Structure 1
Amino acid sequence: MDDHYEVVVIGSGFGSLFFIKQYLNKKPNAKIAVIEWGENRSHSWQVTNNKNSEFSSSNTHAQDSHHKPWNYTIGLGGGTNCWFGQTPRFIPADFEMKSKFNISDDWPFSYNDLEPYYMAAENIMAISGSDAMGKVSPRSGSFPLPPHRVSAIDEIMMAAQPHLHFPIATARSPLALKNRNQCCATAQCNLCPVNAKFTAHNGLTEILTHPNITYFMNAQAREVIHHNGTASGVMYLTNNAEERSIYGDLIVLGANGIQSPAILLRSGINHPQTGVGICEQLGYEFEVFLNGVDNFGGSTITTGLNYSLYDSHPYREKAGAALFYFENRIKHGLRLEEGRWRQVLPLLVAIEDLPQTSNRVSLNAQGQAYVSHANVSSYARAGLQHAHDNIEKVLAPLPVEKIIPLRERPTESHIQCSLRSGHDANKFVVDGDSLHHKMRNLVVVGSSTFTTCPPANPSLTVAAMSLRAADRLV
């Protein structure tokens, strides 16, 4: 059953598919194999069955505490199926944490290095957004699609804070497109009922059906085959637990932030930082009662982003950045007062976390991925406190009646930093081009390679990094 390919790719989510797309742009005749643990399930199947995959992520790894879910989708398209389609870029300071704030580490490339690939990823996904966002994340071009209609609340905030408050950047289309419908604003983004958000099935069809690509479905990648410091193949298990091997000139590891380090550990590729630092943003929810301003008039699930506490000196030297999401969904109910039922704002705040050595992915006795995560960093806790202390200032343009702190969110479903990238081969697992420091011919893609954990959603940055990695490699 052995076979040989130019590229063998593990996983089929954002990191893997965007890498393949750029690789084929440069080398259109390349023979590629993709090893996918799950099934190929269409959008209609997902909606009909009310799930993205037959797999429950909680059954594919073990963990030391069940208070924290780690969500991911196993199936063709990976996270492109289950994401909500939020696509803000990171800001330049996110890549310079050590240089600017003396916190954690600098990324091995700059925002300017990644910016052309941000543009390319936005065009591939047909992102909707306002070019005014260039005030916080500089742009070399316009968004492919216009922004969604915002709420009356956003209009007040944008008028008062034009450099800090913007319409959401999103992969949910505000228009009917050739391969996607118009967002219906029913807040069912995990299983979009009208196929409005970008997924691999509607936006990367040419990759899923490419004649040069062979997809091995129901194939669980177990180990990277290597010899004398060079990766040469992948051993995987079939549904019948039969071991098979497949070989290639280049191996691309793009499972997810839990399964990718587990595969490396099972392979005996023992970099001391493998699995170390797994984290995600800390999420918190508020409910804001307003006086005389109605909400829920926007055209998508989240209408606005506010950056007031994102890059604020000197606070970021001691407290994690915060990004405010102005929600357009009736998440906590409506108000009970007659004539005022829409005068309420559900508000989500995402707080930057930092990777900690105490949080890691290892293997249990059965060789299964095992996640140890005691808590978020004190830096993230300080960022949350900073958000609590300053939320009234952030919302000062609005006629606020009262602000109700509600709860910490159990997860943001953004697994990051378990195979961090950086220049130092002893401190980081991969380099600035996504190549493994200790193993030749091995590329690692996905949010596992993030150096730090900014508050913005990671998927667009994953796509841009994968495009850049393939471009620089070829």
Structure 2
Amino acid sequence: MSDTITTDVLVIGSGVVGALTARKLALAGRQVLMLEAGPRIQRDDIVTNFRHSARKDDFIAPYPNSKIAPFPDYKPEDNGYLDQAGPKPYKPEYLRVVGGTSWHWAAQAWRLVPNDFRLKSQYGVGRDWPISYDELEPYYYEAELLWGVSGPAEMAKYSPRKEAFPLPPVKKSYLEQRVTERLSPKYELMTNTTGRNSLPYDGRPQCCGNNNCMPICPIDAQYHGGIAADAAEKAGVKLIPQAVVYKLEQDGHGKITAAHYYDWNKVSHRVVAEVFVMAANAIETPKILFLSADAKNPNGLCNNYDQLGRNLMDHPSNSATFYVDEPLWPGRGPMSPSSIQQMRDGDFRSESAAFRIDFSNSSRVAGVTTNAIKEGLTGQELEEAIRFRSSHELSIKNVLEQLPDPNNRTMLSSGKKDALGLPTPSFSYSYDEYVEKGMQHSLSVYADIAKMLGATDVRYSAPGVYSNNQHITGTLAMGFNEKTSVTDRVGKAWEYDNLYMVSTGVMPTVATANSTLTACALGLRTADAILGKI
């Protein structure tokens, strides 16, 4: 027989969004329990794993996967956790560990732009948010203070702000300085806003230029969910790792009454709470709600109108790589330091996806050396090729807006199960003409940038083959009514008075900014709603 645990608030998932939400509730005097499917990890261990890994370009490799709480892994071969229903593959990379996926991120911390909240009314496509930019602005700043976001003041012309960034921007690398100069004034290359310390902040050191922000900052100059989880525990949150939630109970009268989880010994436990907060990611949260199907809810909880898991969005990307006509020596400083913001908004969005252009500062040495050896180069010729290519090669990529499409969705697999016997996630996914038009627009910008930098040997990604960016949104979308969304304007499930969602999944549109800062701001706002402040 399972034991029963009682708490005021149960938070399911310990990623950065859930942890900061839990912390805020605990600081307000609530008794908060947070469950995490995966194990605790330590930064030092992950740094050691990364240093010893033969696959430095595999950002999953340093992190411990498990059969009890598996997460997707594709290298050197697909571990089969996810089920692909097509027509396009969708291969997200996320972690199930204490602190969540932001352990291996780039900590990009852009806000959305105001028109992102009114896409339908402004441009006639997509959908509007049930809240405005101005309503979320103070919560953006609250999240930025917790992260220690650094950024340039001029970013305010894209995303207006009432307070200065907590920290000034990280110093520009040589590559960033030179490319900024050469692309100006046509393109404004701007230092990214990031959860990365440009000065010592909150007991953590400033960035010292290690070029492996992904998969792990070796000194914690970069903010991540592990730091957020630690802060939650210091605030009084009780955290239980290795707790795989597999079912919610409901009372038939609009209340969730309990959650059930398996520990890693496959023993079931039951948690009773007044308030339940779903803080797993935008794939694992719908999975739990689908698994909670009962006689009254045969299609899962929060799914009376078949909205759960639908409108899955990410940021499709491709890239261009070329040799610049001067040495830039990428590899000194952060891996993704700068971007062009100018195409994130405009009237063209009525027909074509908005996008951002990111510039890579990742070291090229390993990649160009491998390719040169494959070409059969040896001796002096090999040495010269490595030196030229590693100092001159530059890679840029786009980050494209994707419109909500109900046919893009996450579901339960009909055939695959994990070691606990739970169905794994399944996806139906594709791109539409809106994305394709944005892709063509960005390719013209690639060509222009390459020309301005005197590029040679320009190589584009394979046509029609796009990567995603692990910015999983839409599957729990907030909206104006229960027939077209899963949650209301504060993240509360339409059908249950005490069930809330804090996740990138509640975002109704994906826009062109990495999604975690917005999700944290929304989570902090949801905490205020739970506390009766909204």
- TM-score normalised over the length of structure 1: 0.91
Given the alignment, which residue of 385, 388, 394 partners 2:440?
A: 385
Asked if 2 retains the 8 angstrom alpha-carbon contact of 1:258 and 1:371, the reply is no
User: Where in structure 2 are there 5+ consecutive unaligned residues?
Assistant: 51-61, 73-79, 294-300, 370-383
Asked if 2 retains the 8 angstrom alpha-carbon contact of 1:117 and 1:468, the reply is yes
Task: Specify whether residues 338 and 198 from structure 1 end up closer, same or farther in structure 2 by C-alpha distance, changes over 3 A only.
Answer: closer
1:245 paired residue number: 270
How far apart are residue 347 of structure 1 and its match?
0.4
1:375 paired residue number: 430
Q: Distance in 2 between matches of 1:297 and 1:45?
A: 23
Q: Which moved more, 1:352-361 or 1:1-10?
A: 352-361
Given the alignment, which residue of 71, 75, 81 partners 1:57?
A: 71
Q: Secondary structure at the match of 2:337?
A: strand
1:317 paired residue number: 350
Asked if 1 retains the 8 angstrom alpha-carbon contact of 2:190 and 2:339, the reply is yes
Q: Distance in 1 between matches of 2:403 and 2:483?
A: 19
1:22 paired residue number: 24
How far apart are residue 253 of structure 1 and its match?
0.4
Given the alignment, which residue of 7, 10, 20 partners 1:8?
A: 10
1:281 paired residue number: 315
How far apart are residue 312 of structure 1 and its match?
2.8
Asked if 2 retains the 8 angstrom alpha-carbon contact of 1:181 and 1:196, the reply is yes
How far apart are residue 216 of structure 1 and its match?
1.9
Residue-pair matches, total = 469
Q: Secondary structure at the match of 1:22?
A: helix
1:424 paired residue number: 481
1:329 paired residue number: 362
Identity of aligned pairs, percent? 23
Q: Distance in 2 between matches of 1:457 and 1:284?
A: 16
Q: Secondary structure at the match of 1:342?
A: helix
Q: Secondary structure at the match of 2:339?
A: strand
Q: Secondary structure at the match of 2:4?
A: coil
How far apart are residue 70 of structure 1 and its match?
1.8
Q: Secondary structure at the match of 1:383?
A: helix
How far apart are residue 379 of structure 1 and its match?
1.4
Q: Distance in 1 between matches of 2:275 and 2:205?
A: 34
Q: Secondary structure at the match of 1:255?
A: coil
Q: Distance in 2 between matches of 1:203 and 1:468?
A: 17
Q: Distance in 1 between matches of 2:343 and 2:386?
A: 32
1:361 paired residue number: 410
How far apart are residue 46 of structure 1 and its match?
1.9
- For residues 166-215 of structure 1, the C-alpha deviation after alignment (integer angstroms, 9 at most, x for no partner) is 111111223344224524331342122232211233355331344x3222
User: Where in structure 1 are there 5+ consecutive unaligned residues?
Assistant: none
2:381 paired residue number: none
Asked if 1 retains the 8 angstrom alpha-carbon contact of 2:8 and 2:31, the reply is yes
Matched AA of 2:71: S
How far apart are residue 3 of structure 1 and its match?
2.2
Q: Secondary structure at the match of 2:518?
A: helix
How far apart are residue 340 of structure 1 and its match?
7.8
Q: Distance in 1 between matches of 2:115 and 2:428?
A: 27
Please tell me whether Structure 1 or Structure 2 has the larger radius of gyration of its CA atoms: 2
Asked if 2 retains the 8 angstrom alpha-carbon contact of 1:156 and 1:397, the reply is no
Matched AA of 1:94: D
How far apart are residue 381 of structure 1 and its match?
1.6
Q: Distance in 1 between matches of 2:141 and 2:182?
A: 27
How far apart are residue 323 of structure 1 and its match?
0.4
1:256-271 → structure 2 map (5 Å cutoff)? 256-268=281-293, 269=301, 270-271=303-304
1:174 paired residue number: 198
Q: Distance in 1 between matches of 2:210 and 2:496?
A: 46
Asked if 2 retains the 8 angstrom alpha-carbon contact of 1:14 and 1:446, the reply is no
Asked if 1 retains the 8 angstrom alpha-carbon contact of 2:25 and 2:32, the reply is no
1:3-152 → structure 2 map (5 Å cutoff)? 3-25=5-27, 27=28, 29-50=29-50, 51-55=62-66, 56-58=70-72, 60-64=81-85, 67-150=89-172, 151-152=176-177
Task: Specify whether residues 102 and 374 from structure 1 end up closer, same or farther in structure 2 by C-alpha distance, changes over 3 A only.
Answer: same
Task: Specify whether residues 185 and 438 from structure 1 end up closer, same or farther in structure 2 by C-alpha distance, changes over 3 A only.
Answer: same
- For residues 70-95 of structure 1, the C-alpha deviation after alignment (integer angstroms, 9 at most, x for no partner) is 21110111123122211111111111
Q: Distance in 1 between matches of 2:433 and 2:20?
A: 34
Matched AA of 2:22: I
Q: Distance in 2 between matches of 1:390 and 1:166?
A: 16
How far apart are residue 113 of structure 1 and its match?
1.0
Q: Distance in 1 between matches of 2:456 and 2:216?
A: 35
- TM-score normalised over the length of structure 2: 0.82
Task: Specify whether residues 12 and 203 from structure 1 end up closer, same or farther in structure 2 by C-alpha distance, changes over 3 A only.
Answer: closer
2:378 paired residue number: none
Q: Distance in 2 between matches of 1:471 and 1:49?
A: 39
1:224 aligns with 2:248: yes
Q: Distance in 2 between matches of 1:236 and 1:297?
A: 44
Q: Distance in 2 between matches of 1:71 and 1:390?
A: 28
